[in-house]
Structure 1
Amino acid sequence: MCDQEKDLLKVKLEQLQCHFTWGPQRDNIDLDDMKQRLEDSIQTNEKYQGRFYNQLAFVNCLQGNCEEAIQNLKEAEKILRENHEDEFDKRIIITYGNYAWVYYHMGQLTEAQSYLDKLERICKQFPDASRYTSMIPEVYGEKGRSLLKSSSQYYEEAKECFLKALEEDPDNVEWNECYAIVLSRLETFPGTPENCEPTQSMKQFRRVLELDPDHGEAMVLLALTLQQSNQSEEALELVENALQASPNLPHVLRYAAKFYRLKEDLDKAVELLKKGLEMTPHSTFLHHQIGLCYRKKLLSVHKNPRSKRLGDPAFQQRAELIELCKNHFKKAFEPRPLTFIWAQLDFTRICTLNEEYENVEEIYNNLLKLGSIRPENKQAICLEAGLFELQEKNSEANAIIHFLEGMKVDCNSKERKKCRDNLKSISERQLRRNPRNSKAHGVLGLMHQLDGEKREAIESFEKALELEPDNEEYLSALCELRLSISDNNDFPN
């Protein structure tokens, strides 16, 4: 094929519905982590192996392992033929689309075109299909699943996909479960329409259990939402039933463990997580969860004054728990140093507790240099680095720098709010000590400016300039604010 034919082929490929045309690409997902999770899922969940092989092919192709990707797709196709012969054409659309894209990336353009031809023949069966794809429930559901498994920024889009799938297939257990899961995740996010009491997801998980009363994962996820609403008796019964119905499903074990951790039954939580780890020994998630359980135990022991006395059993217990925490948090983040930020922050908290300050500073310095990371992760790093400077190093000046950096990141998260609260507290404390502290007024001005509170920002900068009239930063900020009000014919709020 000449370049013109190759370009034309790519235009056709971009019309497909498959993993290569859906939102997440290399920059949006942790490929190594996703690959590990998919391999674990293939090993432990026979029911959806075809789907997992499909997504694994996409990840392998992005990593340059195209031959491996083709083998993954062959496995997916084989499973679909064996298990869904009567619905094969409906279920193969995404796999054939992935084949076409992988062969395109391999430069085997005739092979890529052959899969487009297969899709064209299949799509003639469906009334509302385009030439190469058809938006049927199977396609909507698979797209939603892929988006749900990738990154939180795609949850709203995933929710819409599941709703579309359920419009035509309202009793499908899988799509009902996925819809419940995405609702429960959105309910925890500030700034989303679903952010509220978990009533929507609770209702949806109950719908899943109406359709499949033995659905272990739906039981434990419903239990977690009930626990959040202080309905602990029904929640505990659901968890116990789930562990009886699905004692060897890793997702049931991990969600049940989270339930027991929140219930303060840490030994039971660790027991379940270790059982899960036997099945999926490379799971960074499980190591992190075990670390959280040991951290809870450690914080309880740390309050005991005897834990500081060398030779006391409490001292030995504290030392052992510190090592257990560090070990599991390390195993959580070392395979994912650029993406599992929370595990690294949890590790630094343990090091701080153990007064390993040099180690903590080195980790924060490395984390603060990271470029392409999710905004809420960047804010969490700034928040923790600021708290370390404030609480352990007694440096209000350095803490202010980090908190301001956290506020500058455009993301409405609870970490940003905590950065703001800390900035406000420090500045007000400094002004109580010295009302003529120009820097404190300036920090309040920057804080209000970042929050879009123009009137308050102007007032703070004017006070700062009364005390420090030649400060160019404050002058520039004040001019910018006044110009923005003038340009927008805006009154200060």
Structure 2
Amino acid sequence: MSDQEKDLLKVKLDQLQCHFTWAPQKENIDLDDLKQRLEDTIQTNVKSRGRSYNQLAFVNCLQGNCEEAIQNLQEAEKILKENHEDEFEKRIIITYGNRAWVNYHMGQLTEAQSYLDKLERICQQFPDASRYTAMIPEVYGEKGWALLKSAAEHYEEAKECFKKALEKDPDNIEWNFGFATVLYRLEDFSGTSESYKPIQSIKQFRRVLELDPDHAEAMVLLALKLQQRNQTEEALGLVERALQKSPDLPHVIRYAAKFYRYKRDVEKAVDLLKKGLEITPNSTFLHHQIGVCYRKKLIPLNRKPQSKRPSDPAFQQRIELIELCKYHFKKAFEPRPLTFIRAQLDYARICLLNEEYAEMEERYNNLLKLEGIRPENKQAIRLEAGLFELNQKKSESKAITHFLEGIKVNYNSTEKTKCRDNLKIIAERQLRRNGRDSKAYGVLGLMNQLDGKKREAIENFEKASELDPDNEEYLSALCELRLSIKADNDCPTEPKPKDE
């Protein structure tokens, strides 16, 4: 093929619906973690192997393992033929799209074109299809699952995909469960608007169980939602039934463990998580959850004075729990140092409980150097580092710096709210101590500015500037705010309609 023909082929490939055109790309995914999770799913969950092989092919191709990607897609095609013979052509659209892309990345352009030709023949049977793809429930559903396995900012799009799949196939168990799962995550996700209420996912999980009364994953996720609403008796029954139906399914085990941890039956939770590790020994998630369980046992013990006395049995128990927490949190983040930020922050918190301030500070310094990390992780790091400076090092100025950096990240999360709340408390405390503290007025001004409260921001920056007239930051903020207000006032408004 000539360069012109290759460019034309790329234009055709970009029109496809498959992992290469709608999954987040390499810079947005922890590829090693996703690969491990997909391999675990292939090993333990028969129902979703075709889907998992397709996404695994995408990951392998991004990592340069194109031969493995081809093998993954061959496995996916084989599974689809065996399990969906009557719907094979609907189900194979994504696999053929992925295959065309992998061949393209391998320089096998004729082979890539052959898969485009296959897709063109398949799509002719669907009235609303384009030349190379058809937006049918099977395509919408698979796209929803792929986005659901990626970053949280794609959950809204995943939800819309499942809704579209269900419009034409309302009784499909896969798409109903996908829709329920994405609602569950959106309800618990800190960056989501408050419009998501638990009743939405509860209703949807009940719909899944109407269609498939033995769906163990739906049972445990429904149980967690019911537990939040204090419907504990029904929730416990669902968890016990799910563990009877699918005792070796990792997702059932991990969600059941979460349920028992919330129920304060930490020993039961740890037993389940250890069982899960026997099935999927490389799961960083399970190590993290075991660490969280041991921390739950440690925190009340750490508050007891006798746990600090070497002669008391509680002292040894406390030491053992600290070591267990640190061991499992390390096991969680060491394979994923750039992405499993929560596990590193949890590790730092254990250092705090054990008064290991030097190790704690080193951990924060390492985290603050990371680049290209997700916005909610940036905010979480700034929040924890700020609290460390404020409470352990007694440095309000450094704490302010961290909290300010946290609220400057353009992302709504609970961590951002906590940074803001801490800033307000510090600034108001400083003004009570000294009503002429320019920095405190500057902090309040910046908070007003970020909140869109321009006039309040100007008022605070003016006070800051009066007390510190040479501060260019305050002068610049005032100039920007005044120009912004002038622009708002100068902006023509539409004339009001005359009364009839």
Judge same fold: TM > 0.5, yes or no. Answer: yes
* Matched position secondary structure for 2:489: coil
For 1:340 and 1:376, locate their aligned partners in 2 and report how far apart those are by CA, in whole Å. 12
Superposed displacement of residue 341, structure 1:
0.7
Partner of 1:248: 248
Superposed displacement of residue 311, structure 1:
2.6
* Matched position secondary structure for 2:412: coil
* Matched position secondary structure for 1:128: coil
Superposed displacement of residue 194, structure 1:
6.3
Spell out the pairing of 1:396-475 with structure 2 (5 A cutoff). Answer: 396-475=396-475
For 2:481 and 2:129, locate their aligned partners in 1 and report how far apart those are by CA, in whole Å. 53
* Matched position secondary structure for 2:19: coil
For 1:373 and 1:77, locate their aligned partners in 2 and report how far apart those are by CA, in whole Å. 35
Partner of 2:66: 66
For 1:479 and 1:153, locate their aligned partners in 2 and report how far apart those are by CA, in whole Å. 34
Superposed displacement of residue 193, structure 1:
5.1
| 1:317-375 Cα deviation digits (max 9, x unpaired) | 11100010001111111111111111111011011211222221122112112221111
For 1:212 and 1:312, locate their aligned partners in 2 and report how far apart those are by CA, in whole Å. 53
For 1:55 and 1:206, locate their aligned partners in 2 and report how far apart those are by CA, in whole Å. 28
* Aligned pairs, number: 491
Contact 1:23 1:154 in 2 (8 A): no
Partner of 1:182: 182
Percent sequence identity is: 79
Partner of 1:305: 305
Partner of 2:197: 197
Partner of 2:115: 115
| 1:123-173 Cα deviation digits (max 9, x unpaired) | 122222111111111111001010011111111111111111111111111
Partner of 2:261: 261
Partner of 1:366: 366
Contact 2:23 2:150 in 1 (8 A): no
| 1:233-264 Cα deviation digits (max 9, x unpaired) | 11111111111111111111100100111111
* Matched position secondary structure for 1:448: helix
Contact 1:186 1:194 in 2 (8 A): no
* Matched position secondary structure for 2:21: coil
| 1:452-473 Cα deviation digits (max 9, x unpaired) | 2212211111112222222222
Indicate whether 1:286 and 2:286 are aligned.
yes
* Matched position secondary structure for 1:488: helix
For 2:384 and 2:480, locate their aligned partners in 1 and report how far apart those are by CA, in whole Å. 31
Contact 2:77 2:92 in 1 (8 A): yes
Contact 1:292 1:325 in 2 (8 A): yes
Partner of 2:484: 484
Partner of 1:52: 52
Partner of 2:29: 29
| Residues 194 and 100 (structure 1), Cα distance of their counterparts in 2 relative to 1, 3 Å cut | farther
| Residues 13 and 254 (structure 1), Cα distance of their counterparts in 2 relative to 1, 3 Å cut | same
Contact 2:23 2:146 in 1 (8 A): no
Contact 1:306 1:314 in 2 (8 A): yes
Superposed displacement of residue 174, structure 1:
1.0
For 2:276 and 2:324, locate their aligned partners in 1 and report how far apart those are by CA, in whole Å. 18
Partner of 1:382: 382
Partner of 2:149: 149
Contact 1:186 1:195 in 2 (8 A): no
Partner of 2:124: 124
For 2:476 and 2:16, locate their aligned partners in 1 and report how far apart those are by CA, in whole Å. 51
| 1:278-327 Cα deviation digits (max 9, x unpaired) | 10001111111111000110101101111111131111111100010001
Which deviates further from its counterpart, 378-387 or 351-360?
A: 351-360
Superposed displacement of residue 57, structure 1:
0.3
Structure 1: gaps spanning 5 or more residues: none
Aligned AA (2:405): E
* Matched position secondary structure for 2:134: coil
Contact 1:148 1:182 in 2 (8 A): yes
Contact 1:53 1:75 in 2 (8 A): yes
For 1:134 and 1:446, locate their aligned partners in 2 and report how far apart those are by CA, in whole Å. 50
Partner of 2:356: 356
| Residues 444 and 193 (structure 1), Cα distance of their counterparts in 2 relative to 1, 3 Å cut | closer
Partner of 1:394: 394
Contact 1:137 1:168 in 2 (8 A): yes
Spell out the pairing of 1:78-97 with structure 2 (5 A cutoff). Answer: 78-97=78-97
Superposed displacement of residue 195, structure 1:
3.5
Superposed displacement of residue 86, structure 1:
1.8
For 2:424 and 2:193, locate their aligned partners in 1 and report how far apart those are by CA, in whole Å. 28
For 1:225 and 1:81, locate their aligned partners in 2 and report how far apart those are by CA, in whole Å. 37
| 1:425-459 Cα deviation digits (max 9, x unpaired) | 01111111111111111111122222222122111
Aligned AA (1:398): K
For 2:254 and 2:379, locate their aligned partners in 1 and report how far apart those are by CA, in whole Å. 27
Structure 2: gaps spanning 5 or more residues: 492-500
* Matched position secondary structure for 1:371: coil
Contact 1:189 1:195 in 2 (8 A): no
| 1:25-54 Cα deviation digits (max 9, x unpaired) | 111111000000000001101121111111
Partner of 1:77: 77
Indicate whether 1:100 and 2:100 are aligned.
yes
Superposed displacement of residue 191, structure 1:
5.9
Aligned AA (1:325): C
Superposed displacement of residue 490, structure 1:
7.8
For 2:196 and 2:294, locate their aligned partners in 1 and report how far apart those are by CA, in whole Å. 31
Which deviates further from its counterpart, 202-211 or 361-370?
A: 361-370
Partner of 2:495: none
| 1:353-403 Cα deviation digits (max 9, x unpaired) | 112222211221121122211111100110000001011111111000000
For 1:225 and 1:126, locate their aligned partners in 2 and report how far apart those are by CA, in whole Å. 39
For 2:111 and 2:328, locate their aligned partners in 1 and report how far apart those are by CA, in whole Å. 46
Contact 1:291 1:326 in 2 (8 A): yes
Partner of 1:208: 208
Off by >3 Å, runs of 4+ in structure 1: 189-196
Aligned AA (2:208): V
Partner of 1:343: 343
For 1:347 and 1:386, locate their aligned partners in 2 and report how far apart those are by CA, in whole Å. 16
Which deviates further from its counterpart, 79-88 or 138-147?
A: 79-88
Contact 2:186 2:196 in 1 (8 A): no
Contact 1:431 1:437 in 2 (8 A): yes
For 1:112 and 1:181, locate their aligned partners in 2 and report how far apart those are by CA, in whole Å. 35
For 2:242 and 2:91, locate their aligned partners in 1 and report how far apart those are by CA, in whole Å. 30
* Matched position secondary structure for 2:205: helix
Superposed displacement of residue 107, structure 1:
0.5
* Matched position secondary structure for 1:107: coil
Q: How high is the TM-score relative to the length of structure 1?
A: 0.98
* Matched position secondary structure for 1:489: helix
| Residues 190 and 359 (structure 1), Cα distance of their counterparts in 2 relative to 1, 3 Å cut | closer
